[in-house]
Amino acid sequence: MGFYLNKFSFIVLILCAFQLQAQDKWIDRNAQISFDAKVPSFEPVAAKTESATAVFEPQTAKIAALVFVNTFKFKVALMQEHFNESYAESSKYPKATFEGEVLSFDDQNINGTYKIKGNLTIKNTTKSVEILAQFKQKQNSILLTSEFEVDPEDYGFDIPKVVRYKIAKKVTINLSFVFKS
């Protein structure tokens, strides 16, 4: 009986190893995300974080990212305070997430521009989005860069009329992920 149990354990171990290899995840724990909502002639409304987390599975083309909203840093401290307290309400809605799939992804020839389709969630509001991203494989990493726009009103940002003209109607978001296996 011990022989069969050992043989069974060995088969389970081999199957798990194949499963782990098939689900090879590439991770960036210091993913960079920035946004820019500046309007000419006014103080730039822009912020950046380097502490987002992004995960990519080349074999399945699944991709996900998470950022804690209060990690975005502004050049002006008061702007950061207003962003977190009044606009993003980061104590109530602490994170923003994205879950999606890279369409027509070729894991044998990674370099290129691909469309990513998925769900972007900000302030508990989820919208379907499609973005273009550039992928480039280096020795031990996969680089992803992208720039796209979102409308803050789509995600429940209530911008008072008194400052509305100082903030762009569409916010440009830039992604820079360096995935490592």
Q: What is the pLDDT of residues 130-160, one digit of tens each?
A: 999 999 999 899 999 999 999 999 999 988 8
Answer whether residue 14 is part of any domain.
no
Beta bridge pairs of residue 31: 52
Amino acid 162: pLDDT: 87
What tokens does 89 get? 């309400």
Q: How far is Cα of residue 148 from the mean position of the Cα atoms in its chain?
A: 12
Answer whether residue 6 is part of any domain.
no
Look up the domain containing 106 and give its range. Answer: 25-180
Answer whether residue 145 is part of any domain.
yes
CA–CA distance, 88 with 16 (Å, rounded to integer): 42
**What type of residue sits at position 45?**
V
Query: Residue 23: pLDDT band by 50, 70, 90 thresholds?
Result: low
Answer whether residue 76 is part of any domain.
yes
The structural domain count of the chain equals 1
Instruction: For the chain, give the percent of residues with pLDDT over 70.
Output: 87
Judged by average pLDDT, the poorest of 9-13, 65-69, 79-83, 95-99 is 9-13
User: pTM for the full model?
Assistant: 0.85
Answer whether residue 75 is part of any domain.
yes
What tokens does 38 get? 């500046």
Answer whether residue 18 is part of any domain.
no
**DSSP assignment string, the chain:** -HHHHHHHHHHHHHHHHHHHHHT--EEEEEEEEEEE---TTS---EEEEEEEEEEEETTTTEEEEEEEGGG-EESSHHHHHHIIIIIS-TTTS-EEEEEEEETT--TTS--EEEEEEEEEEETTEEEEEEEEEEEEE-SSEEEEEEEEEE-GGGGT----HHHHTTS-SSEEEEEEEEEE-
Answer whether residue 5 is part of any domain.
no
Answer whether residue 68 is part of any domain.
yes
Identify the CATH number of the domain in which residue 49 sits. 2.40.128.110
35 to 75, 149, 175: CA distances (angstroms): 13, 9, 9
